[in-house]
Chain A
């Protein structure tokens, strides 16, 4: 069994899985012209003769790896290899819906003479990402009504009044020059520290909206917005405003296999069928021969299937357990923290489940 396992590993390294084989069925998702084959995970214990698919931690540890490919600002791209779709998907789902953040939940409107209706204004304010570490706060308990305390609530105020610009030239018609404060931006939001909150946050990094240039409303002279906002901790499942990511998703690693040597004009055509940089054409013995350089960057547009003479020469597949994750943070927390938070959430869930099991066993 062990040697088989090693053989399997070897297979992956070589990147080959013979078309139509059990191997392929187990490890590749095949992109056909009219549909996708082998979409489901089938390596359950006992499903295949000659394979030992029982769970083995050591084997998992050997296979599993995470490579961080790119981390720039708010985006993170990493590869997660050797894991089941359910688990990979769980991370994605948790990132979207269960990692908590702080967002405006209650808006106390003291004055709003702007064109924007109170409810719409509140909705807009709610969707503004607030740059504050949610781990420093507690969830507000559902039972108790009231204002909330310093440990579960963050307050902001927004007081903007639009006036005429006395220094604007007479024949000017540009609102930017005619009026002062006629555009309400997130930078107008002012944090109101509650209790010991001012000690909690350094003066250089107070709680604030992630972006200062989000337009909240437009005003005209005489109009005024005066509101106080209460931010609470929440999760994306409750409302999308609590979701810490713009999006978190994954795709499977594409794999392009040339089933036979492709030469000459066909090679050039093949190159054009894929995203740039996927197929290279080399000059070998005076012939132009196609070669797969980097299948990873292919977008799987499946252009190949429009060429009748090419489509049978290439197999397009994706590696079943190779997840290329991409996490785009809204800027509240860095994406790597988000991922580790997501893992913590999953761990917490597992722990809770195990506890449940234990308690139920005791009964």
Chain B
């Protein structure tokens, strides 16, 4: 009672009985979270970690270069820095560069990597500072980017959009994203059943130096260790013995002394006995004989004995991540024992681990990938220097060997640039060879770019038909968007992050080890081994390594969490218990997914209205919530230990955490959909894919960009029905779509198969009008023979002295002028190139005036374009760069594709004049008529509600929310409609515009946000009567881009055969394709030439006939490989 008094004494009676009020606007934590973390923060964090910390560690690990030639010579790195992005103006003069300049000038946005070194020159020891060794592409908005900490006004000065998320690289003028890579967790034991049902354990160990995979397999009840470096599987008991555990009793003690465990392990001991191996030496020798011989490059040390080799192997290659110091194998033994025990316990009982469980996954980000690449390049750089030192030092020279003169920058620079621009990550060290790691950032719309930054690609083969890794895992809840995945072969393998997901970076584990020891974790090395299997003893793992054991795991976990909440440990360290395995896992490694949750104390949310108020007033930041233990991050494994309430009213006495907002379980793309919780799930998935094709706006700097392809909407609008996500990602500032008044009804026959009927007057007034920008590019190069490309003025007509038509739009400088209209085949840049570009051979005649041939840049396209702007600059190679931006304005036409935000796409089937459109009571005509058949099978109820909410919003003059799992209620929205005299159901009395009589049905009528998709007929239309042919076969070319023919394929051919239209067949397949007159000698059956058979040396039997050119080609190709096809000719009437 006294305690209660102390706690509640200051409250009045009323306050005590008042109901506990809920935290009203806890979603406000989200903008606060996104302010600190941002949508692409994971990329930026990871890159920052790499250039600021990791790179120093890499340098430390490879800090010394020595030479075999001179033991006194050395090179030691003292420090390494990544500078700020700059560009070389002239020799050794640099100037800071902005990302946009790099985009325009096709350069790489990169910063110099400089090192401080200490080395010897002769007998001198020299220290040199700030020596460049290469250039590092810089991620936009990272700590070294010029954009960090700038205000929107400063962004505008740099021609940069403040809403652009950053997190990508600019390499050779192209924006490249390093996709997040999903992989199985490193250094964790995974117990799995194979196809036959036998259980085994595997560990993929990975350290800086090595990566290896160790398997524990069971064959006929015996345990074997399987490893790549071993030619055959080694009985596990022999491994134990080789590691110095010679006594069988000790082995069994480590594994466990329960009867069934001993029984399961006994055959393995027996096998060892049979092999007659009792001592460590014997065991090592046994293993040494099984080691696969592989001469690694660079390891040309003295030859080791087999025993040493085996010992070395056990210490460093097998289970690399378990540290072994001076061949004390104790920890590794225990680790293997735990693996064995895990497998024994998993047998029979279904306790195998799930590979697809998201707690077993790690995400690799740009920073990690780049650090792997950089380390490889750095090592190569060092070994190159060593090679040079080895070569140069023995030679006597006047000047002493100065290594600085041999440090070549381009190796690291090119290595980085090529990897990012091609996406091929091939590292010799780890035998890694991955393709498609990077992708060009899609700038089709703002959402496309954002969506790309949150994309996760997985390592699984796309072609394999597996369902496991593709299906939605319950553990992905809240971490990955359940909707946003492509359809087709990459389905479920390419995923997207949810709105609040954060990916951790690596952390120091030293303090955690110390803390764990202080909290009562006992070192395993001090134990005899049997304790491991005690029922009340829990094993403590830190990042996959055994730290020790703990008796009271509950207390450890609780204290640990309290310390973390108090800020003594990094907030991203996670601790979780696995009761069935009797383990406590502490993780501080990078690549884990986690998200913030509100802490629940005493069945009350720790965050109260007061906190939220302070947040909205700006007194508080998200960081404060973390520090005051109101909010904490949970990773996937720790989530399993917690009891998270979705809503405040569902808190029970077991609840530990409270969700911040349920809609955050969706990602960026799915967040655009209003009322997604009312839609059939695949529809949301379709919309996620289509939102990326919607045109609109791409950034505030869109008009300054010269992209290869850019689609913009002339009059983009914010959606009437928005969501919280839309506000958070500021989609409203860069929208992609328009609010169209939609009538859901049948109209004419041109609306079948989801086709839409558009109102002509709406199109006249600017609905769906879009701008298409394309660019044309050319460089003026210098060649090695002192010649160079040049641009010449326009050619004049001889008679009229006017510019010829092809050069009509050229200025006097030979480059088209802005604002002009270009037609097909007109010249944009009148470029000339020297005919001879090679250096003339020695002794050949001195070239006179260089000869030029014209290589004009011409415009090709079915419709005319306008020239928006012309840029003249120089690129990184100092060549002139001319970029021309071309513009087309298009109004929607029949066949253009539109879509609502509910995966309901359709093409325009008919454009109807306004007077023919139905109109409602107030005289409103719809912009779009949509057929009601689109609804029943698609079940996009969300679209119906969007229409209602949109209509109410229009009447009321405000925006409604369609946030997932919330948003404006249908009931309230409908009440609004009634207030304005509309029908409760949103169905209006509509009059036909054609007859003037009312329609028999009430029409569902109101605004829906429509997106115009990038697929337009103008870009697809294609027909050909005559046209180019392929050189080799003389058949018509293929594809629209080459003005190709339309193929009469096999099946069409079958039809013609079946119909008996043989002459048509002949006409299509030969006469109109590749008919060719050949002279065939009737005697020898070979092809002749202009009426003469070269084989028979006569012309008497030669006759002329028409065959397909491809057929003639085949004969000749066959002849070239000594097969002689002979044609037998006979008279037609014989």
> B852 interface residue, CB < 8 Å from A?
no
Q: Does A92 contact B996, Cβ atoms closer than 8 Å?
A: yes
> A252 interface residue, CB < 8 Å from B?
yes
Partner of A119, one of B889, B919, B925: B889
- CB-CB under 8 A from B889, the residues of chain A are 117, 119-120, 123
Q: Closest residue of chain B to A93, judged by CB?
A: B915
Q: Mark A305-320, 1 if CB is under 8 A from B, else 0.
A: 0100000000000100
Q: Does A240 contact B982, Cβ atoms closer than 8 Å?
A: no
- CB-CB under 8 A from B997, the residues of chain A are 39-41, 85
Q: Which residues of B950-991 have CB atoms within 8 Å of chain A's CB atoms? A: 977-978, 981-984, 989, 991
CB distance from A123 to the nearest CB of B (A): 7
- CB-CB under 8 A from B561, the residues of chain A are none
> A275 interface residue, CB < 8 Å from B?
yes
Q: Which residues of B760-813 have CB atoms within 8 Å of chain A's CB atoms? A: 760-761, 764-766, 769, 771
> A89 interface residue, CB < 8 Å from B?
yes
Q: Closest residue of chain A to B925, judged by CB?
A: A247
- CB-CB under 8 A from B921, the residues of chain A are 251, 299-300
- CB-CB under 8 A from B1001, the residues of chain A are 35-36
- CB-CB under 8 A from B924, the residues of chain A are 247
Partner of A36, one of B703, B819, B999: B999
Q: Mark A25-39, 1 if CB is under 8 A from B, else 0.
A: 000010100111101
Q: Which residues of A118-149 have CB atoms within 8 Å of chain B's CB atoms? A: 118-120, 123, 127
CB distance from B769 to the nearest CB of A (A): 7
Partner of A39, one of B866, B868, B998: B998
> B993 interface residue, CB < 8 Å from A?
yes
Q: Which residues of A88-131 have CB atoms within 8 Å of chain B's CB atoms? A: 88-90, 92-93, 96-97, 109, 112, 115, 117-120, 123, 127
> A237 interface residue, CB < 8 Å from B?
yes
Q: Does B995 contact A237, Cβ atoms closer than 8 Å?
A: no
Q: Does B981 contact A275, Cβ atoms closer than 8 Å?
A: yes
Q: Which residues of A227-266 have CB atoms within 8 Å of chain B's CB atoms? A: 236-237, 239-241, 243, 247-252
> A326 interface residue, CB < 8 Å from B?
yes
Q: Does B996 contact A123, Cβ atoms closer than 8 Å?
A: no
Q: A31-B989, A112-B819 are in contact. Are A120 and B714 (CB under 8 A)?
A: yes
Q: Mark B851-884, 1 if CB is under 8 A from A, else 0.
A: 0000000000000001010000000000000000
Considering the chains assembled together, what is the distance between the CA atoms of A117 and B888 in angstroms?
Answer: 10
- CB-CB under 8 A from B989, the residues of chain A are 31, 36, 300
Q: Which residues of B588-623 have CB atoms within 8 Å of chain A's CB atoms? A: none
Q: Closest residue of chain A to B714, judged by CB?
A: A120
> A86 interface residue, CB < 8 Å from B?
yes
> B922 interface residue, CB < 8 Å from A?
yes
> B887 interface residue, CB < 8 Å from A?
yes
> B923 interface residue, CB < 8 Å from A?
yes
> A20 interface residue, CB < 8 Å from B?
no
Q: Does B913 contact A97, Cβ atoms closer than 8 Å?
A: yes
Q: Closest residue of chain B to A272, judged by CB?
A: B978
Considering the chains assembled together, what is the distance between the CA atoms of A301 and B994 in angstroms?
Answer: 24
Partner of B769, one of A96, A112, A123: A123
Considering the chains assembled together, what is the distance between the CA atoms of A318 and B925 in angstroms?
Answer: 21
> A352 interface residue, CB < 8 Å from B?
no
- CB-CB under 8 A from A36, the residues of chain B are 989, 998-1002
A-B contact count (CB 8 A): 113
Q: Does B983 contact A302, Cβ atoms closer than 8 Å?
A: yes
Q: Does A249 contact B764, Cβ atoms closer than 8 Å?
A: no
Considering the chains assembled together, what is the distance between the CA atoms of A123 and B922 in angstroms?
Answer: 27
Considering the chains assembled together, what is the distance between the CA atoms of A119 and B997 in angstroms?
Answer: 39
Q: Does B714 contact A306, Cβ atoms closer than 8 Å?
A: no
Considering the chains assembled together, what is the distance between the CA atoms of A123 and B925 in angstroms?
Answer: 21
Q: Does A85 contact B996, Cβ atoms closer than 8 Å?
A: yes
Q: Closest residue of chain B to A98, judged by CB?
A: B915
Q: Mark B474-505, 1 if CB is under 8 A from A, else 0.
A: 00000000000000000000000000000000
- CB-CB under 8 A from A92, the residues of chain B are 915, 996
> B914 interface residue, CB < 8 Å from A?
yes
- CB-CB under 8 A from B913, the residues of chain A are 97, 237
- CB-CB under 8 A from B887, the residues of chain A are 117, 119
How many chain A residues touch B (CB < 8 A): the figure is 49
- CB-CB under 8 A from A119, the residues of chain B are 866, 887, 889
Considering the chains assembled together, what is the distance between the CA atoms of A118 and B819 in angstroms?
Answer: 8
> A303 interface residue, CB < 8 Å from B?
yes
CB distance from B432 to the nearest CB of A (A): 48
Q: Does B914 contact A96, Cβ atoms closer than 8 Å?
A: yes
Q: Does A301 contact B978, Cβ atoms closer than 8 Å?
A: yes
Considering the chains assembled together, what is the distance between the CA atoms of A155 and B1104 in angstroms?
Answer: 71
Q: Does A85 contact B868, Cβ atoms closer than 8 Å?
A: no
Considering the chains assembled together, what is the distance between the CA atoms of A301 and B988 in angstroms?
Answer: 8
Q: Does A93 contact B993, Cβ atoms closer than 8 Å?
A: yes
Q: Mark B39-54, 1 if CB is under 8 A from A, else 0.
A: 0000000000000000
Q: Does B995 contact A236, Cβ atoms closer than 8 Å?
A: no
Q: Does A299 contact B771, Cβ atoms closer than 8 Å?
A: no
CB distance from B979 to the nearest CB of A (A): 10
CB distance from B965 to the nearest CB of A (A): 28
- CB-CB under 8 A from B1000, the residues of chain A are 35-37, 39
Q: Which residues of A8-65 have CB atoms within 8 Å of chain B's CB atoms? A: 29, 31, 34-37, 39-41
- CB-CB under 8 A from B982, the residues of chain A are 299, 301
Q: Mark B812-838, 1 if CB is under 8 A from A, else 0.
A: 000000010000000000000000000
- CB-CB under 8 A from B991, the residues of chain A are 249-251
Q: Does B996 contact A86, Cβ atoms closer than 8 Å?
A: yes
Q: Does B761 contact A115, Cβ atoms closer than 8 Å?
A: no
- CB-CB under 8 A from B914, the residues of chain A are 96-97, 236, 240, 243
Q: Closest residue of chain A to B153, judged by CB?
A: A173
- CB-CB under 8 A from B703, the residues of chain A are 115
CB distance from A106 to the nearest CB of B (A): 14
- CB-CB under 8 A from B995, the residues of chain A are 40, 85-86, 89
Q: Does B996 contact A240, Cβ atoms closer than 8 Å?
A: no
Considering the chains assembled together, what is the distance between the CA atoms of A261 and B315 in angstroms?
Answer: 100
Q: Which of A97, A248, A275 has the most CB of B within 10 A?
A: A97
Considering the chains assembled together, what is the distance between the CA atoms of A127 and B924 in angstroms?
Answer: 19
Q: Closest residue of chain B to A119, judged by CB?
A: B889
Considering the chains assembled together, what is the distance between the CA atoms of A208 and B134 in angstroms?
Answer: 65
CB distance from B1012 to the nearest CB of A (A): 15
- CB-CB under 8 A from A240, the residues of chain B are 760-761, 764-765, 914
Q: Does A303 contact B868, Cβ atoms closer than 8 Å?
A: no
Q: Which of A36, A40, A86, A306 has the most CB of B within 10 A?
A: A36
Q: Does B769 contact A117, Cβ atoms closer than 8 Å?
A: no
Considering the chains assembled together, what is the distance between the CA atoms of A89 and B995 in angstroms?
Answer: 7
Partner of A88, one of B769, B868, B996: B996
Q: Does A301 contact B996, Cβ atoms closer than 8 Å?
A: no
- CB-CB under 8 A from A251, the residues of chain B are 921, 991
Q: Does A306 contact B984, Cβ atoms closer than 8 Å?
A: yes
Considering the chains assembled together, what is the distance between the CA atoms of A179 and B1000 in angstroms?
Answer: 57
- CB-CB under 8 A from B919, the residues of chain A are 247, 249
Q: A39-B997, A239-B764 are in contact. Are A301 and B915 (CB under 8 A)?
A: no
Q: Mark B407-451, 1 if CB is under 8 A from A, else 0.
A: 000000000000000000000000000000000000000000000
- CB-CB under 8 A from B761, the residues of chain A are 236, 240, 243
- CB-CB under 8 A from B923, the residues of chain A are 247-249, 326, 328
Considering the chains assembled together, what is the distance between the CA atoms of A88 and B993 in angstroms?
Answer: 11
* 14 sampled A-B residue pairs with Cβ under 8 A: A36-B1000, A39-B999, A39-B1000, A85-B995, A89-B994, A93-B915, A123-B714, A123-B766, A127-B765, A240-B914, A243-B761, A247-B924, A249-B923, A306-B984
Using A36-B1001, A123-B889, A237-B913 as known contacts, list a sample of 13 further A-B pairs with CB atoms less than 8 Å apart, ordered by residue number in A. A90-B996, A92-B996, A97-B915, A117-B887, A123-B714, A127-B766, A239-B764, A247-B919, A250-B991, A251-B991, A301-B982, A301-B984, A303-B983
**Which residues of chain B have a CB within 8 Å of any CB of chain A?**
703, 714, 760-761, 764-766, 769, 771, 819, 866, 868, 887, 889, 913-915, 919, 921-925, 977-978, 981-984, 989, 991, 993-1002
User: Across chains A and B, which 5 residue pairs bring their CB atoms closest together, nearest first?
Assistant: A89-B996, A249-B923, A299-B981, A240-B764, A240-B761
